[in-house]
Amino acid sequence: MSDPLLVEAEPYAYAFDPRHTALLLIDMQRDFVEPGGFGETLGNDVSMLQQVIAPLRDVLDGARKAGMTVIHTREGHLPDLSDCPPAKLNRGAPSMRIGDPGPKGRILIRGEYGHDIIDELAPIEGEIVIDKPGKGAFYATDLAQVLQAGDIRSLIVTGVTTEVCVHTTVREANDRGYECLVLSDCVGSYFAEFQRYGLQMIAAQGGIFGWVAPSVNYLKALEARS
């Protein structure tokens, strides 16, 4: 067994073995990142999320080169909305609701153009795609079984949005015993203050939910091995 790789991180160095680590890309879907989708119907400025794409592309390339497990998630619902609780469907006053026709197809519906992952980060053969109806990637999915089957013990977490699906998934993963490193420039929020506090909340109290580091620190550790 080789020594683990060490990433300079908050609150202290994060140790991982790439053979037992998956890169998780959460909900990098057109519906969140591009105009005309779910994120915009809620009144958000989606350009806030687009700064994540370039650093995340480098991290994805690094994971592919290192032969790591790569898992993409997509939030969305069945066309008949049978997996969308009324409490989610009717929440708030969006300009369009989940399932309504929008410029990228029906909002947040599986199989629609807007529901799919942006071209820059599109999954390639061999990568896992998890469709999830909720905010957390473990809820009502087979992610737990996928991780167990792959002998995955650590997660490098990226994607959108920081305080919603990223946070929910990190909390779920942490409770299941996974060590999560959240890459600060590869997660994004529509709200600058939620981004800042969301990241602080993960690493606070000695790493109550996990670790946080910029992607450059993580890539440095990964490259040092090769």
Name the residues that contact ligand C5J, by CB under 6 A.
Answer: 27, 32, 75, 135, 160-161, 164-165
Q: Confirm whether 165 is a catalytic residue.
A: yes
We find the least distance from the C-beta atom of residue 128 to ligand C5J, in angstroms, to be 17
Q: Which of 51, 43, 44, 24 is nearest to 188 (CA)?
A: 51
Is the C-alpha dihedral spanning 129, 131, 136, 139 positive or negative?
Answer: negative
Q: Are 158 and 124 in contact (CB under 8 A)?
A: no
We find the least distance from the C-beta atom of residue 16 to ligand C5J, in angstroms, to be 24
The SS3 call for residue 159 is: strand
We find the least distance from the C-beta atom of residue 50 to ligand C5J, in angstroms, to be 15
Burial of 39 (0-12, 13-18, 19+ CB in 10 A): buried
Q: Are 221 and 7 in contact (CB under 8 A)?
A: yes
Nearer to ligand C5J by Cβ, of 108 and 219: the residue is 108
Which entry of 31, 84, 116, 132 is annotated as an active-site residue?
Answer: 132
Which entry of 84, 165, 180, 186 is annotated as an active-site residue?
Answer: 165
Which entry of 27, 31, 116, 131 is annotated as an active-site residue?
Answer: 27
We find the least distance from the C-beta atom of residue 69 to ligand C5J, in angstroms, to be 21
Q: Confirm whether 100 is a catalytic residue.
A: no
We find the least distance from the C-beta atom of residue 214 to ligand C5J, in angstroms, to be 21
Nearer to ligand C5J by Cβ, of 152 and 165: the residue is 165
Nearer to ligand C5J by Cβ, of 104 and 135: the residue is 135
Nearer to ligand C5J by Cβ, of 46 and 165: the residue is 165
Is the C-alpha dihedral spanning 75, 135, 124, 103 positive or negative?
Answer: positive
* Straight-line distance from the first to the last Cα atom of the chain, in angstroms, rounded to the nearest whole number: 16
Element of type H or E holding 206: helix 192-207
Q: Confirm whether 186 is a catalytic residue.
A: no
- In the sheet that 69-75 helps form, which strands lie side by side, from edge to edge? 128-132, 69-75, 21-26, 154-160, 179-188, 211-213
Nearer to ligand C5J by Cβ, of 18 and 112: the residue is 112
For the chain, what is the largest distance between any 2 Cα atoms, rounded to a whole number of angstroms? 54
Active site residues: 27, 132, 165
